[in-house]
Each structure stands twice: as C-alpha cells, then as structure tokens.
Amino acid sequence: MLPPKAGGIGEPKKAARRSARLARRVIDRRARRLKRIAYLAGLLGLDHRSIPADKGQRIHALRAEAVSGRIELDDLLRVLLKLAKRRGYKGSFKVRKEQDEGVVEPGINHLKQQMSDANCTTLGQYLAKRFEAGETLKLKEAGLYSHRDMLEDEFNAIWVEQVNHHPILAESRPDPLDKDKRSRLIRDQFFDAIFYQRPLKS
C-alpha cells in the first residue's frame, strides 16, 4: 500500500501550495482596495499621508455615529477603509442535506437575529455594542458571519447621512483611476473601490 500523500490522507501534494497562493491573493486584493481608497481621498480634499494613524479604538464608535450624525471627512475615510478590509461573505449557498447546513449561512442568520435583538440597523452599530460590552469582535469565533449585503447597506446609510453634513459627497469628480478621466459621482467611485468584485469564472 502506498503511503498517504503529504498534508493528509488523500490530499493532493499541491493542496498546501494552492491554499497559500489563495491566501496571498486575498491579501493582495485587500491591499489594492485600501490603496485605491487612499488614492481617492484627494477627491475629498484630503491627503491620506497627513491623517494621523488610528489604533482602532474609535473605529466602531465612528461607524455607529456615522449613520445618525456628523463625522469629519478624515474619520469617514477611516470608516471606508475599515469597510474595505472586511467586506462580508458574497456568494450563493449550495443546497445541502438537512443534517448538514454548513456554518456560513446559519452564522449569517444568527448575526441578523442578534442585530435585531440589539436594535441595531447596521453591522457597525452592532460591533460598537459588542466592543463596549467587551465581547470579541472576531465574529467567526462567535459563530457569526457577515454578508456583503450588510456592508453595502451600511455604506449607503453612512453616505446618505454624511451628505447632509458634507455637500461635497454629492458631487461628481473625474475618476483618477480612469484613463479617460471621466467624471463620476464621488459616492460611486468609493463604492466600487470597496465592493467591486470580478465575476467568477464558470
């Protein structure tokens, strides 16, 4: 009998390399999103290099505040960068056997229920409450998963509120990443920078 392949019984030899390559790709794409958002900061009259670093202690409170009141533009940029780091799960769910529901779909439903119980309309508000209560913000450890729709809804709610305080957010500007420099709504440029995802290959 042949010995099992490296990495586990029946696991292909290239599985470990494939997994590492996938992880590198995820990290690289996230870095490109953050770089693009930093580049778009100029549309708001900001220089991302001059904005003091934030240790992350205020970000959850800022996300909660942003849907109901004014926050400064540099804080808005911090919030947008945070949304780009963790965009939530996007995809369909396979039809499974009754006894095998998986973990992502039930985790999303559980998170929605907890948000409703906490009277939170956005994920940012819910995370702020968990932070204040000293609960872990690593949702997977709590069996919770966020869906992309939650983050998109939060982005829209934040933008609608902040337009009331910063009229520039309703304006259009030439897209600095468009070779033809076509003018687009600032809102759409940031939305695409955060949430655009190439269609999956069939």
Q: Which residues pair with 174 in a beta bridge?
A: 183
pTM of this prediction exceeds 0.85: no
> Which residues have C-beta within 8 Å of that of residue 171, sequence separation ≥ 6?
185, 186
- Residues contacting 5, CB < 8 A, separation 6+: 11, 12, 13
Residue 15: pLDDT band with limits 50, 70, 90: confident
39/61 Cα distance (integer angstroms):
25
Higher pLDDT, 107 or 32: 107
Ordered alpha helix ranges (H), 86-144: 104-117, 123-132
